Structure 1
Amino acid sequence: MVRVAEQTRRIWRRAASLGWPIAVQQFFNTLMRTVDIFVTGLFSPAAIAAVGIADLYAQFPLRVGLSFGTGAIALSSQDTGRGATVSRNRVISQALVLGFLCGIPLVVVGYLFSRPLIGVLGANAEVVRTGGRYLFIIFAAAPMRIVGLVGIRSLQGTGDTQTPMVLNSAASVLNILLTLTLGLGLWIAPALGIVGVGIATFTSRTAEAISVVGVLAYARNDISLVWSRDATIARQLIAVSLPNFAEGMSTSLARFPFNAILLAFGTAPNAAYHVGRRIYQQLAAPFSRALTTVTSIIVGQTLGEGKPTRARREARAILSLSLVVLGAVAAILFVGARRLVSLFEQDPEVVGYAVSFTRVFAVSVVFMAVFYPLSGALRGAGDTRTPFYARFLGSTVFLLGVSFALSIVAGYQVVGAYVGLGLSFACWAGVVAAGFVRGNWADTAAAMIEERSAVDGS
């Protein structure tokens, strides 16, 4: 028992050492979006709804970047664990190129269809006009957004979490400063409103991509960008990335009809959902995303060393840490919901709904404490299918199915949405926990490593 406790403390210390830079990075990244909502909240509830709906479409470049980033972090962490530097550099380089190419079509979509994409959800004319302008600018930044995400996660896969923290946090701070300056017209800048918020995002994400590529190409370490057409690496990247993309998009796409359900009861519930979600993201995301990334790094590197039993033990130890940390966050969210909401919105109707949404998210954080570390362990091994199944079922059956049945069919209105939202998170946690306990994810990692070893001779 004493030995187990000491091993757990050792893993907690390693997780904390790797995780605090990621938590800081995610804090600033989430704060950037929180400031966006705060600034637009100074305009009107319609402005909040416009940015919130446009950000649903902004999930497309985000999900592409995260999916290739997940592939990069899985393969690069495994190669780091087995000391295969050449293969790792090829993985990072090919992930960057594939990600950039996938971002180009999104620029075209943004140019041609920004306003129709906002209007298709049934938003009013003011939301369509302002949201369309914002979405066009966000889609224009898609290739750079994806490159930045892939580069950041590639560095994390090697065990370097401090450099990504500096680069991403600097970009987020730049975004915040530009949002305040251009959105509100501070100092000598014109007050551009939502357009200014979009320009801030475009500028900061472009700066982030350039800085990340610069570090990868010219930093004095053993990482280097190389021209690679290795079919094995490309196939494995795509095989790991595609289910992760489908996982993220199953959630993102489900939010479109979920927003439409809320809009059926007016702009106030929809704006309240985005406020509650932003509060949840600001407080929980820095920890949850740090935990999932740290678990991917540690499990991936340990599997690369050929120690699957130790990888399982490490994942369980990080799960216990997650329950402690996110349990505390859940309590803060639930108890402080009204005070937190008042920081964003004063409209009584919006505040009432937003407090309820925030408390639903607070309860859901407990389920997220299970989902994030265990899904991170699976992804570190290259198993991205199980997290996809979890999110797909949660999003389709509960977020949409239960919400629609209770809200529209049974007539419980927004209360039905609260129930569907909470049950979707419970589903995520249950499916991933079953996959971790019963799945063959360690064998998946071993097979991928053996295939790359046969190519690079390591």
Structure 2
Amino acid sequence: MEGNLTKGPILKTLTKLAVPIMASSFLGTLYNITDMAWIGLLGSKAVAGVGVGGMFTWFSQGLASMSRMGGQVQVAQCIGRGDKEEAHKYAQTAVQLATLMGLLFAAVMLLFLHPLVGFFQLQDPEALQAALSYTKIACGLIVFSFLTLTLTGIYTAQGDSKTPFIANFIGLVTNMILDPLLILGLGPVNKFGVNGAAIATVSAQAIVMTILILEIIRQKKQNVLKGIKLFTKIPFKYLSGICKIGIPTAIQGMVYCGISMVLTRMVSGFGAEAVAVQRVGGQIESVSWNTADGFGTALNAFIGQNYGAGKMDRVKKGYKASLCSVGIWGIFITIIFVFQPKAIAEIFFHEPKAIMIAIGYLTIIGVSEAFMAVELMTVGALSGLGKTHLCSVISILFTSARIPLAIILGGALLGLEGIWWAFSVTSIVKGIIFVCTFCWITRGKGTVKMMKLNKE
């Protein structure tokens, strides 16, 4: 079902596309928060173990973004140019690539499970076992997540964000029902603990993927995903086109996660409670960044189509409208985190030490929420212009700075809170730099030159 984003009122068009995507992103946040809330009843050691396992699923999302971002941008630009046949071929290649990468990632994780989990040096046997169990299930069936992300991106490129939202909503309901049943064991269902959380999440992802596939078959209107062939040779032309856009994004996501893994290892020196807080705090924080990323995804498709059609005036106006909307949301999250950290922490933690650490985390991270939201939205905008390389360079450079900054601030100066400040300060800097970069890229004559270079 194709949606033309190159015509009509800009704010109305963008909002119509963005709202379902942001809602889908929020549902993704609820997936994780629901898991953490139930797992929290098992204790901070179980949360720490799942947190470590979650690092690997997060790492996989970086790899999955290669097919998602590459496919979404190429399909959107083809549709903007009116070339539906090329859009279909890019969509098919993206789905094939997602399937292949998902299966390969699962194989590597299962083969090297123990040494990979061992990197985090979890000292507590219970936390270590939880990490191994969760990772085996969640990463072993990660192909469902790879395909869901890529299909969602291609739906969005066509201007259809409603279908992925409905699919994700059904997946969330499934996850919310399965979590207490499988984690704690209710009625005739046995207690599976952290394994139950992994099974619930994977099951929900499989259901979302199935719904997206069935909708392709059901839709009467033309969808570039219709008639794709999974087991055919991947044409080099389309593979290289997707990789050109997607590889920088994938590298950025995986490096970002790799940096977080190093920092998590540093955090583990402060105990299982600190690791649990980092994991849960990140999920709480995703209320902000998932929403911003969702708006960025909408803006990506909007800019991709309008850039393909040569309508740079709509590109600039769409970005300004998005900047205001996402900035306001980020400020709202900052206020909540900074002034109500205890109320939030007590939802997920029941041990005094963990609650105190969580309060410090939320207060410090809260300072940077608006900047982080603007950063993620702007990455989506720049990617829609095909500037994924530039996004990767900026993001990797300043995210990497967290490690030496955490060593300095987390040493003799501030301890654990110094690591939290390393997160916050770099997010503020990145937010400012990304906005300045977009304004510089799209300024006057430079815009015309950029469009000519991209078409060559």
| TM-score, structure 2 normalization | 0.91
Cross-structure match for 2:368: 364
Pick the aligned partner of 2:404 from 401, 404, 422: 401
Closer, same or farther: CA 442–312 of 1 in aligned 2, 3 Å: farther
Distance in structure 1 (CA, Å) of the matches to 2:58 and 2:20: 24
Residue 238 in structure 1 maps to residue 240 in structure 2: no
Provide the C-alpha distance between the structure 2 equivalents of 1:134 and 1:441, rounded to a whole number of angstroms. Answer: 48
Q: Quote the offset at 1:411 in angstroms.
A: 4.5
The question of 1:277 aligning with 2:290 is answered: no
In structure 2, the partner of 1:107 is 106
For structure 1, the 5+ residue unaligned runs are 1-8, 452-458
Counterpart residue number, 1:455 = none
Aligned residue in 1 for 2:4: none
Maintained 8 Å contact 2:151/2:212: yes
SS of 2:310 mapped into structure 1? coil
Aligned to 1:160, the other structure's residue is in SS state coil
On the 8 A contact 1:360/1:422 being kept in 2, the answer is yes
d(CA) in 2 for partners of 1:438, 1:279: 33
The percent of aligned pairs where both chains have the same amino acid is 21
Residues 443, 151 of structure 1: CA spacing in aligned structure 2 closer, same or farther, 3 A cutoff? farther
Q: How does 1:195-234 map to 2 (within 5 A)?
A: 195-223=195-223, 224-227=226-229, 229-234=234-239
For 1:400, the aligned partner's letter is: I
Q: How does 1:8-407 map to 2 (within 5 A)?
A: 10-124=9-123, 125-223=125-223, 224-227=226-229, 229-281=234-286, 283-397=287-401, 399-407=402-410
Measure the CA separation in 1 of the matches of 2:197 and 2:301: 34
The one-character-per-residue Cα deviations of 1:179-204 (angstroms, maximum 9, x if unpaired) are 22111112321110001111112222
**1:454 maps to what in 2?**
none
Q: Take 1:381 and 1:189, find their aligned partners in 2: how far apart are those partners?
A: 50
8 Å contact kept, 1:244–1:384: yes
1:386 Cα shift?
2.0
1:244–1:388 contact (8 Å) kept in structure 2 = yes
Q: CA deviation at 1:416?
A: 1.2
User: For 2:199 and 2:253, how far apart are their aligned partners in 1?
Assistant: 25
Provide the C-alpha distance between the structure 1 equivalents of 2:227 and 2:450, rounded to a whole number of angstroms.
27
Tell me, yes or no, if the aligned pair for 2:349 and 2:355 is still in contact at 8 Å: yes
Q: Distance in 1 between matches of 2:418 and 2:59?
A: 27
Partner of 2:5: none
Q: CA deviation at 1:137?
A: 0.5
Q: Which amino acid aligns with 1:136?
A: K
* Code of the aligned partner of 1:309: D
Residue 343 of structure 1 deviates from its aligned partner by: 0.6
- Residue by residue over 1:297-354, the C-alpha shift from the partner in whole angstroms, topping out at 9 and shown as x without a partner, is 1111111211123312321221122212222222122222110111111211111111
Cα shift at 1:418: 1.9
Structure 2: distance between partners of 1:324 and 1:208: 31
The answer to whether the 8 A contact 1:404-1:417 is kept is yes
Q: CA RMSD in A?
A: 2.0
CA distance in 2: counterparts of 1:230 and 1:442, whole angstroms: 31
Confirm or deny: 8 A CA contact 2:365 2:420 kept in the other structure: no
Report deviation, 1:43: 0.6
Please identify runs of 4+ aligned residues in structure 1 that moved more than 6 A.
Answer: none
SS of aligned partner of 2:347: coil
The alpha-carbon distance between structure 1 residues 53 and 406, as it changes in their structure 2 partners (threshold 3 A), is same
Q: Deviations over 1:41-76 (max 9, x none)?
A: 101111110011111011232222223211122112
DSSP-derived class of the 2:42 partner:
coil
Structure 2 unaligned residues grouped into runs of 5+: 1-7
Q: Is the 8 A contact 1:115 1:129 kept in 2?
A: no
SS in 2 for 1:192: coil
The residue matched to 2:112 in structure 1 has which SS? helix
Deviations 1:199-240 (A, max 9, x none): 112222222223323323452221123347443322110011
CA distances 1:340-373 after superposition (whole Å, capped 9, x unpaired): 1111112111111111111222211111232122
CA contact (8 A) 2:63 2:254 kept: no
Shift of the 16–391 alpha-carbon distance from structure 1 to 2, 3 Å rule, reads same
> For 1:221, what is the secondary structure of its paired residue?
coil
Which segment is superposed worse, 30-39 or 120-129? 120-129
Per-residue Cα deviation, 1:372-424 (whole angstroms, up to 9, x for no partner): 22211111111111221222122211x2110012213x342112112211112
The one-character-per-residue Cα deviations of 1:5-56 (angstroms, maximum 9, x if unpaired) are: xxxx953333221111112211221111101111111011111100111110
1:390 to 1:140, Cα distance in 2 relative to 1, 3 A: same
Distance 2:350 2:450 in 1: 51
Given that residues 251 and 392 in structure 2 are in contact (C-alpha distance below 8 angstroms), is that contact kept between their aligned partners in structure 1? yes
On the 8 A contact 1:77/1:297 being kept in 2, the answer is yes
What amino acid is aligned across from residue 354 of structure 1 in structure 2?
Answer: A
Query: Is contact 1:381–1:441 with CA below 8 Å preserved after alignment?
Result: no
Query: What is the alpha-carbon distance in structure 1 between the residues aligned to residue 59 and residue 108 of structure 2?
Result: 11
Q: Structure 1's 204 and 447: CA in aligned 2 closer, same or farther, altered over 3 A?
A: farther
Instruction: Output the amino acid matched with 1:159.
Output: G
- 1:243, 1:384 within 8 Å by CA — same for their partners in 2? yes
Which of 413, 416, 419 is 1:414 aligned to?
A: 416
Structure 2 counterpart of 1:379, one-letter code: S
Task: Report the CA distance between 1:155 and its aligned residue.
Answer: 0.1
